[in-house]
Amino acid sequence: MRYLVLATDYDGTLADQGCVSENILNELQAFKAAGRRLILVTGREMKDLVEVFPDYKIIDYIVAENGALLHEPATGKEQLLGPPPDPSFVQALQERGVHPLSVGKVIIATWEPHEKTVLEVIKASGSERQVIFNKGAVMILPPGVNKATGLQKLLHSLHLSVHNVVAIGDAENDGALLQVAEFAAAVSNALPGLKSLADRVTEAGHGLGVVELIHDMLATDLKEWDRRLTRHYLHLGELEDGSPFLISPYCKGVLLAGASGSGKTTFTLSIVETMIKQDYQFCLIDPEGDYLQLPGAVVIGNDKVLPPMEEIRHLLIEPAQNVVICTLAIPLADRPAFFAKFLTVFLDLRKEFGHPHWLLLDEAHHLVPGQAETLADKLPEEFNNFIIISTSPHQLSTTSLSRVGTVIAIGRDAAYPFRQFSEKLQLPMPAPIPDLSENEIAIWNREEDGKPVYKARFHLPVQLQQRHKKKYAQGDMGYNSFIFTGPENKMHLKANNLMLFAHIAEGIDAETWLFHLHRKDFSRWFRDTVHDEELSKVGEEAEGISDTEASKKHILSYISTKYTA
């Protein structure tokens, strides 16, 4: 289940003319009975909400006062997310004739056309306050407090993630709410500006629009709308035509396969860096200790000790906590049993909290081998958002492979992962399989019938790029160094890094420089050895510059800017 939470505005959204009908209340009850949670996010103060909405306890949690107050209907517990109103500020508004004036536990509210007076009083007071509008209402709040921040504070306390939230509203003050939620909806009676922020505008208005959304959440988990949510996709590289290579955060399983040394670890690092950037929680099971230095994740386990399963669960319950589980201490024969126990914990977390969003299994043939089909059968039919990484797809269980929707091959022999996968599942082999260069992958999307295997160049992980940048700038590239020879091999000047290359280039004679430039030696070295596509393009641009010194300056200025900054 992707969407566990519906966060809805009250006035103009759930309510029509301040009221919620009995039919809509019944729909809300059915939504909760299906295991989803209902959060009301409103600009109203609780004392007003209770009067107009006597059935408010049907709601699981309430974010009131436009994000400034959290209320738990079942217990009556409240938490203020800002300081109480300053009496002297309230008095100043009253003295300036601002009426009506409502003073909540944090919020102060009035109506247009008093907004100009409100701003003047704020300026005169010398205090920091913000003004938020809501269909004629003028709300005064502490800085940085809005519906989005209130919802995020509540979700944090509940161990929930915004990636599992659908939000719906109708007015200006709902903009921040819609922008923070994974899926944004607006009722048909919403303001045009809010509709422009929404992924979906309901056909019905007010509470009936909310019910329309609820029905689709329960029926399909809004899967049919996923293609509208590309802002949440993982951007992992570029296709041959220059368009982005994207993976949906709500996809079937992914198999990443290739021989040892083919670049699987590098690509995996790129994937998890993208997950971190997008705030998706991941858990990576690492049987060989390849990811123990992974930034943005806590590592548990080592070659001697594996923490108990309860400790793993305790870490994963926090949606902002990424986890690498090192299983070096577990004998090979016992790893499938460990994974079966872990999977039970993992699936329970997803059912209750909607996360971890991604599961990565490195050397997956250790965890779900073909001879452990009964353990692999614990993978539910609808299991998704996982990546299995292996050198040997034919050694994986049939059940785990059957949950895969996308096969990605990496390395020079790109055909064998597709061949092993197809033979294991008794499927026709896709064709043709493209030839791959370094940092390229071949992708077979089984969910898109008839689409051929295509290739993409993946982004190098920042962690690796930083190491490479230092190595290429100041390190010793050894046999990959650039050798200045000139047209008749009269010299042998070795540049074992870019800084030395620039130093030699500055003093080299025009004949030698132009010899290598026109043979495209520079651009080829930048691309194939330094692995810097941008620098290679700069070299290609310099090849079209007739003046020797100008072409030198074009290349050396770029090297100085990028590699000495």
Asked whether 66 and 147 are in contact (CB, 8 A), the reply is yes
> In this predicted structure, what is the pLDDT of residue 84?
95
* Residue of 86, 98, 77, 71 whose CA lies nearest to 141: 86
- Calculate mean pLDDT across residues 133-160: 95
- Calculate mean pLDDT across residues 529-538: 85
For the chain, residues classed under CATH 3.40.50.300 are: 237-460
Is residue 541 exposed (0-12), middle (13-18) or buried (19+ Cβ within 10 Å)? middle
Give residue-wise pLDDT tens across range 28-42.
999 999 999 999 999
- Calculate mean pLDDT across residues 182-206: 97
The CA-CA-CA angle for residues 480, 265, 314, to 5°, reads 145
Q: Using 50, 70 and 90 to split pLDDT, how confident is the model at 565?
A: low
Give residue-wise pLDDT tens across range 383-422.
899 999 999 999 999 989 999 999 999 998 999 999 999 9
Question: CATH number of the domain at 237-460, out of 1.10.10.10, 3.40.50.300, 3.30.530.20, 3.30.200.20?
Answer: 3.40.50.300
The CA-CA-CA angle for residues 496, 501, 504, to 5°, reads 115
81 has pLDDT over 90: yes
* Residue of 75, 3, 1, 13 whose CA lies nearest to 41: 13
Q: Among 175-189, 272-286, 328-342, 436-450, whose mean pLDDT is lowest?
A: 436-450
Collapse the DSSP code of 563 into the 3-class scheme (helix H, G, I; strand E, B; otherwise coil) and give the result: helix
- Calculate mean pLDDT across residues 187-201: 97
72 has pLDDT over 70: yes
> In this predicted structure, what is the pLDDT of residue 475?
80
Give residue-wise pLDDT tens across range 329-360.
999 999 999 999 999 999 999 999 999 999 99
Q: Using 50, 70 and 90 to split pLDDT, how confident is the model at 433?
A: very high
- Calculate mean pLDDT across residues 57-79: 97
Class level of CATH domain 1-72+145-232: alpha beta
* Residue of 457, 410, 75, 8 whose CA lies nearest to 217: 8
One-letter amino acid at 101 equals L
Residues shown for the chain:
565
Cβ atoms < 10 Å from Cβ of 8: 28
With a CB cutoff of 8 Å and minimum separation 6, the contacts of 182 are 2, 3, 162, 163, 164, 165, 166, 229, 232
For the chain, residues classed under CATH 3.40.50.1000 are: 1-72+145-232
Cβ-defined contacts of 56-65 (< 8 Å, 24+): 58/25, 58/28, 58/29, 58/32, 59/28, 60/32, 61/37, 61/154, 61/158, 63/7, 63/39, 63/147, 63/150, 63/151, 63/154, 65/104, 65/105, 65/106, 65/107, 65/141
- Calculate mean pLDDT across residues 358-379: 80
Q: How far is CA 242 from CA 124, 227, 235, 410, 433, in A?
A: 54, 19, 13, 19, 20
Class level of CATH domain 82-144: alpha beta
For the chain, residues classed under CATH 3.90.1070 are: 82-144
> In this predicted structure, what is the pLDDT of residue 206?
97
| Strands (DSSP E) found in 27-72 | 37-41, 61-64, 69-72
> In this predicted structure, what is the pLDDT of residue 561?
86
CA atoms of 35 and 38, how far apart (whole Å): 10
Asked whether 290 and 264 are in contact (CB, 8 A), the reply is no
CA atoms of 157 and 318, how far apart (whole Å): 10
372 has pLDDT over 90: no
Q: Is 265 or 313 the better-scoring residue by pLDDT?
A: 313
> In this predicted structure, what is the pLDDT of residue 448?
78
> In this predicted structure, what is the pLDDT of residue 469?
60
Give residue-wise pLDDT tens across range 464-513.
545 556 667 888 888 789 999 999 888 999 999 999 999 999 999 999 99
CA atoms of 443 and 472, how far apart (whole Å): 30
What is the overall mean pLDDT for the chain?
92
301 has pLDDT over 80: yes
CA atoms of 189 and 203, how far apart (whole Å): 9
CA atoms of 279 and 552, how far apart (whole Å): 43
288 has pLDDT over 60: yes
